[in-house]
Amino acid sequence: MASSDQSNDHLVHSPDSQHPANLICELCRKFYTLGWVTGTGGGTSIRHNDHLFIAPSGVQKELMQPTDMFVMDFHSREYLRRPPNLKPSACTPLFYAAFSRRGAGCCIHTHSQWAVLVTLLVEREFGSSACFEIERIEQIKGIPKGRGDDGKVGGMLGYFERLRVPIIENTAREEDLTESLEAAMEKYPDTFAVLVRRHGIYVWGDNVQRAKTQCESLDYIFQLAVEMKKLGLPWT
């Protein structure tokens, strides 16, 4: 790993396991074992007060260290800490959309094979403009149903409610997905995730625990959906 810029190193050094720089490393190691961030793909970002902690690009996610983290000021969008010889994540503007438009505390991007397969199945069965929809699956109860007028999460989806996850088309460059992601957020104001066809998924939550829970629940549902299609079972 590259040595870090000594300026503002205090932002990423902490003995607290719950510190964002430590948590991102821990999460990415876990996500690697699930096949979500292999080959340096994927990423995670956490907002802590007015600081955004962002995993770098092009680094093996299971080997990341806290000193590899980029730190950005939420308001100015300027980097407070840039490790030398490491590149900022191309996911950064998409992470920022989740923080600024949805008030997220954590955003996770994975290259889950199940997420990719679901986007292809939806396109084949329902067309390129359709979103993923499924109901009457227990794990749906791990997904929030949206926010109330006060901006707070309005509870979780129920077993008999329908989960909808919008799908956007992939682009050659990750940052070019930003406009489509923001448009999906506007069209589906209750969503906490956006699928990217032939690419993966972005999932966000109010905090790390919720984002992780939602990401795991969705991946379970996507795998189940793929297996259901093999058996000719309907999603809705």
Q: Which residues are annotated as a binding site for Zn(2+)?
A: 109, 111, 199
Helices 208-230 and 113-126: crossing angle in degrees, nearest 10, is 50
pTM of the entire predicted model: 0.94
Q: Which residues are annotated as a binding site for substrate?
A: 91
The residues pairing with 167 across neighbouring beta strands, listed in sequence order, are: 195
**Tens-binned pLDDT, residue by residue, of the chain (236 aa):** 334 445 689 999 999 999 999 999 999 999 999 999 999 999 999 999 999 999 999 999 999 999 999 999 999 999 999 999 999 999 999 999 999 999 999 999 999 999 999 999 999 999 999 999 999 999 999 999 887 665 667 799 999 999 999 999 999 999 999 999 999 999 999 999 999 999 999 999 999 999 999 999 999 999 999 999 999 999 99
Question: Is residue 138 annotated as part of the catalytic site, yes or no?
Answer: yes
Q: Which residues are annotated as a binding site?
A: 91, 109, 111, 199
β 167-168/193-196 pair status: parallel
Q: Which of 138, 169, 179, 227 is catalytic?
A: 138
Q: What domains does the chain contain, in order, with CATH numbers?
A: 1-89 (3.40.225.10), 111-236 (3.40.225.10)
Instruction: Say if residues 178 and 208 touch (Cβ distance below 8 Å).
Output: no
The residue type found at 56 is: P
β 162-165/132-135 pair status: antiparallel
How far apart CA 108 and CA 91 sit, in angstroms, is 10
